[in-house]
């Protein structure tokens, strides 16, 4: 579960710019800290995993999905790599990803 929190914060920083990214990411961190404190102080609000295999599957799925999404975000935010443009009917070919 913490992998999704980290992903959300990184995604926010990638999507917003400068001071807005800082403010929103700090608010997200405070929200997630609050959620963790609620789960700690009120454990009856948290549904536990039925087995350790379920816990492992959750951790692996979170890790792989977050890694994949961050990789895709980094490809599109890198210099020189842009999403393919919609066909404009002109003679120029649309930009393609490698």
Q: 87: which 2 tokens?
A: 């066909």
At residue 41 the predicted structure's pLDDT band, cuts being 50, 70 and 90, is very high
Average pLDDT value for residue range 10-17: 78
At residue 12 the predicted structure's pLDDT band, cuts being 50, 70 and 90, is confident
Q: How much is the mean pLDDT over the chain?
A: 76
Q: What is d(CA 93, CA 87) in angstroms, rounded to the nearest whole number?
A: 8
Q: What is d(CA 78, CA 70) in angstroms, rounded to the nearest whole number?
A: 12
Q: What is d(CA 77, CA 65) in angstroms, rounded to the nearest whole number?
A: 18
Chain CA centroid to CA 63, Å: 11
Query: How far, in Å, are 4, 55, 56, 75 from residue 51 at the CA level?
Result: 21, 7, 9, 37
Q: How many CB atoms sit inside 10 A of residue 12's CB?
A: 19
- Asked if 95 and 85 touch (Cβ cutoff 8 Å), the reply is yes
Model pTM score? 0.56
The more confident residue out of 45 and 76 is 45
């Amino acid at each position: 579960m913490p992998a999704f929190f980290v992903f959300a914060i990184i995604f926010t920083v990638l999507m917003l710019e400068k001071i807005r990214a800082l403010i929103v990411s700090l608010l997200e961190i405070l929200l997630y800290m609050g959620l963790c404190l609620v789960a700690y102080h009120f454990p009856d609000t948290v549904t536990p995993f039925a087995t350790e295999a379920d816990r492992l599957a959750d951790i692996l799925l979170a890790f792989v999905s977050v890694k994949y999404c961050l990789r895709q975000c980094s490809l599109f935010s890198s210099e020189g790599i842009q999403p393919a443009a919609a066909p404009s009917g002109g003679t120029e070919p649309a930009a393609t990803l490698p």
